[in-house]
């Protein structure tokens, strides 16, 4: 199991290294009203109303798109300017030939409107225009677009109001969704002057990303209009997404909670390219961890095949490499959580969604490896013999951390407006749960480790171990009972003697029927066993020199030690499993 965890760490680190600091094409991404929810980030909610009347404002619709406020005082101060701009949009209805709702062009009718703005600096300013007693309304949303008139070669980039007829909604908040066949009119307001750009079916600019729509009906002829790619910045620049979204999106606010600012939902599609900024991918640490676990698994297979003791947690508890890797993993977890949360919120139809699980799998696997190690470190210099408990809690910790990181925390995150780290960014947000939760997994993991420690204490206390006669193992450990250096002798001490694995706590390893040596010498013995010919083995043995060993006689640890060259050590995987 530890080898599987180490392979997962190596594999996920390799995959993450491949996408770090490199643009990755995600393909088509869709935000919806019922799935893949995108909550519009709200700094301060501005809601106002007014009526269409003459105005002397010199403002532009870009003011509605880019205005940012941090408090209600700022929002209140912008309300009058917003009213004037929407009044200009309403007055521009008179410029539209063959308008779907000519009542709105009749100056004898009083056209009133209500509007809303999220004031985050990349706004979804929207309005509903209606006439008392009339069952149809006009809804508009301000969006940035690039357009070029027929006969011209240089496109204009500006903020436009896209308006369509919609049944009047007395409970209107921000809703702009209409059928794709409904006419959509584009209106420009720049420096207090309104201009009619043209009309096209909604399907030309909605759920049709990267499409060049043709607007017709303006005095200057046909207009080719397309989206302006935007760069969104997530969580202090850890993730950047460059996307060609729909020119126009649909919005709903029926579930808007004004206390939490959640529930202003958008529906749209876009082709997205993501760049994940990360400098702490741990490729070296992953390689070191894999090498250590591979080596220890090989030692287990060759020398401790029949042992009840797993050498991975025992050996790793004797140095700080594993602990250092665990600390580095948790320290860089905020970055991984940002990537996971972004991909969770923006699942694409491409082949890269599985990257959302790489970070959680990497962290969970490191935690899984270190669970048994940390429990063993707690009990040092006693050996934890309840290997099955260590495996159970390691697997439990893996499952908990993976589920938290892959599903729970990303699902809890909402988009909060934030200051931009990069000057080229259009929209900047942070993930609310990542700010609070990137160390929670560490607390949960340590809680499971503490529970495992308690379980070992309880299990050890419940197992009665009768007094044992003196054995060579007890003599070697200078102990009267096995419980002086084992948490429990049950399962590893029997009539045949003591499991060879108990010697690991003393950093000793039985490599041959008659030989014990330090665990640090095991790599030399293993390599010697794997060499192909006697000549090569002898040359290698002469190069390494002699190793300090403890002698065994008839399965009993002797009182003498000495030195042997590798050629004289009859290392074998068929070593008796116990010492008497």
Residue 543: other Cβ atoms inside 10 A: 9
Can you tell me the distance from the alpha carbon of 552 to that of 497, in angstroms, rounded to the nearest whole number? 14
Residue 261 DSSP one-character state: T
What's the CA gap between 229 and 422, in Å, rounded?
Answer: 16
DSSP conformation letters of 58-123: ---HHHHHH-B-SSHHHHHHHHHHHHHHHHHHHHGGGG-TT-S-GGGG-TTS-EEEEEEE--BSS-
The mean predicted confidence, pLDDT, of the chain is 90
Quote the CA–CA distance of 49 and 46 in Å, as a whole number.
10
Is pLDDT of 423 > 80?
Answer: no
Helix (H, G, I), strand (E, B), or coil: what is residue 555?
coil
Tokens of 401: 């951390």
Query: How far out from the chain centre does Cα 460 lie?
Result: 39
Q: What is the pLDDT of residues 317-342, one digit of tens each?
A: 999 999 999 999 998 889 999 999 99
| Tens-digit pLDDT profile for residues 360-372 | 999 999 999 999 9
Q: Where are the domains of the chain?
A: 2-23+277-462, 40-228, 472-483+492-579
Q: Taking 90 as the threshold, does the pLDDT of residue 544 lie above it?
A: no
- pLDDT tens, 161-197? 999 999 999 999 999 999 999 999 999 999 999 999 9
* Residues 524-539: tens digit of each pLDDT: 888 888 888 888 989 9
The pLDDT assigned to 574 comes to 67
SS3 305: coil
Region of 555 (left: φ > 0; alpha: ψ -120 to 50; beta: rest) is: left
Reply yes or no on whether the pLDDT at 393 is more than 90: yes
In the predicted structure, residue 248 carries a pLDDT above the cut 70: yes
DSSP structure string for 434-482: HHHHTTHHHHHHHHHHHHHHHHHHHHHHHS--------HHHHHHT-SSG
What's the pLDDT tens digit per position in 76-133? 999 999 999 999 999 999 999 999 999 999 999 999 999 999 999 999 999 999 999 9
The structure tokens listed for 110 are 């009083």
User: According to the model, what pLDDT value does residue 487 have?
Assistant: 84
**Does residue 282 have a pLDDT over 90?**
no
CA-nearest of 315, 312, 316, 311 to 326 is 316
Q: What is the pLDDT of residues 216-234, one digit of tens each?
A: 999 889 999 999 998 989 9
45 near 261, Cβ under 8 Å?
A: yes
Cis peptide leading into residue 294 (ω within 30°) = no
Alpha-carbon span 66 to 49, nearest angstrom = 20
pLDDT score of 286: 92
Give backbone dihedrals phi and psi of 125, rounded to 5 degrees, phi first: -60, 130
In tens, the pLDDT along 463-507 reads 666 666 778 888 888 887 888 888 887 777 777 778 788 888 888
Mind listing the pLDDT tens digit for each residue in 38-74? 889 999 999 999 999 988 889 999 999 999 999 999 9
Cα–Cα distances in Å, from 491 out to 303, 320, 392, 494, 499?
18, 29, 17, 7, 9
Residue 188: C-alpha distances to residues 84, 100, 350 (Å): 14, 19, 36
């Amino acid at each position: 199991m530890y080898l599987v965890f180490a392979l997962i760490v190596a594999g996920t680190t390799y995959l993450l290294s491949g996408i770090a600091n490199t643009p990755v094409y995600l393909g088509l991404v869709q935000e919806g009203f019922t799935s893949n929810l995108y909550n519009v980030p709200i700094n301060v909610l501005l809601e106002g109303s007014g009526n269409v009347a003459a105005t002397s404002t010199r403002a532009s619709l870009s003011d509605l798109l880019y205005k940012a406020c941090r408090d209600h005082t700022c929002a209140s101060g912008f309300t009058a300017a917003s009213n004037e701009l929407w009044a200009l949009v309403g007055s521009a209805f008179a410029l539209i030939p063959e308008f779907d709702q000519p009542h709105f062009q009749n100056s004898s009718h009083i056209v009133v409107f209500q509007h809303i703005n999220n004031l985050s600096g990349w706004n979804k300013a929207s309005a509903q225009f209606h006439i008392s007693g009339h069952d149809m309304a006009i809804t508009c949303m301000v969006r940035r677009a690039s357009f070029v008139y027929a006969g011209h070669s240089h496109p204009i980039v500006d903020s436009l109001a896209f308006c369509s007829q919609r049944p009047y909604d007395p409970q209107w908040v921000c809703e702009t969704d209409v059928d794709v066949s409904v006419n959509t009119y584009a209106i420009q307001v720049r420096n207090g002057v309104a201009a009619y750009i043209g009309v096209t079916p909604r399907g030309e600019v909605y759920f049709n990303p990267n499409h060049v729509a043709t607007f017709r009906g303006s005095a200057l002829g046909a207009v080719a209009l397309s989206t302006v790619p935007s760069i969104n910045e997530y969580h202090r620049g850890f993730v950047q997404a460059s996307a060609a979204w729909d020119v126009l999106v649909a919005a709903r606010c029926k579930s808007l909670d004004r206390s939490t600012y959640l529930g202003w939902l958008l529906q749209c599609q876009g082709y997205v390219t993501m760049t994940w900024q990360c400098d702490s991918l741990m490729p070296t640490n992953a390689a070191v961890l894999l090498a250590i676990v591979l080596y220890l698994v090989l030692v287990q297979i060759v020398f401790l095949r029949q042992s009840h003791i797993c050498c991975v947690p025992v050996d790793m508890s004797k140095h700080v490499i594993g602990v250092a890797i665990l600390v580095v993993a948790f320290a860089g977890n905020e970055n991984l959580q940002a990537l996971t949360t972004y991909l969770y919120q923006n699942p694409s139809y491409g082949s890269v969604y599985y990257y959302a699980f790489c970070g959680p799998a990497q962290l969970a696997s490191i935690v899984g490896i270190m669970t048994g190690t940390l429990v063993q470190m707690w009990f040092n210099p006693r050996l934890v013999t309840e290997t099955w408990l260590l495996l159970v809690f390691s697997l439990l910790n893996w499952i908990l951390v993976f589920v938290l990181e892959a599903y729970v925390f990303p699902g809890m995150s909402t988009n909060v407006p934030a200051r931009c780290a990069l000057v080229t960014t259009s929209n900047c947000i942070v993930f609310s749960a990542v700010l609070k939760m990137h160390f929670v997994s560490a607390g949960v993991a340590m809680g499971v480790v503490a529970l495992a420690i308690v379980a070992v204490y309880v299990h050890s206390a419940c197992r009665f171990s009768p007094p044992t006669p003196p054995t060579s193992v007890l003599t070697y450990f200078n102990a009267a009972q096995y419980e002086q250096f084992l948490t429990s002798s049950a399962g590893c001490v029997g009539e045949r003697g003591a499991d060879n694995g108990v010697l690991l706590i003393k950093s000793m390893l039985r490599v041959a029927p008659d030989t014990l040596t330090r665990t640090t010498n095991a790599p030399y013995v293993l390599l010697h066993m794997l060499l192909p010919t006697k000549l090569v083995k002898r040359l290698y043995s002469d190069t390494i020199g002699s190793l300090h060993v403890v002698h065994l006689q008839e399965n009993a640890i002797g009182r003498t030690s000495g030195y042997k060259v590798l050629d004289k050590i009859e290392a074998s995987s068929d070593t008796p499993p116990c010492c008497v």
